[in-house]
Amino acid sequence: MTKKTIVIGSDHAGFPMKEELKSYLQDQGIDVLDVGTKSLDSCDYPVYAQALCKEVLARNILGILVCGSGIGMSMTANKVAGIRAALCTNEYLARMTRKHNNANVLCLGGRVLGIDLARAIVDEFLNNEFEGGRHQRRLSLMEPTA
């Protein structure tokens, strides 16, 4: 059986939650590729969002981004072709974004979510699969046009 790998990244505001989630995932036997940041020192979130997206696409794996609100990471990640990033604030959103939108990046707000809720959101994101069917047709319609 192949061990699951997840890529994770954050800015300084999301760093504490990223570290908590990294440990949580590793405790479940999941390999975690951490693209940074590595401290609470102020930094620019787009650097880490872009690094994570590069790994998600190159390895065909899921990613988790954390910043203060989750908004900046989500906006940045969605600028990258092939990335479908979703800012989720509850378990239902995380479940549905995997099932219906085939999201490959979960964005979280480290300053707006408690760690228990964040863990539950991550669980839903990682434990659900894309349903395809009518949802694939809709995803195709999301592709950029000229």
Give catalytic residues, as residue numbers.
Answer: 67, 100
Residue 47 tokens read as 């650097």
Eight-class DSSP state of 69: S
Eight-class DSSP state of 22: H
CA angle (141 as vertex; 134, 109 as ends), nearest 5: 90
CA angle (4 as vertex; 54, 58 as ends), nearest 5: 20
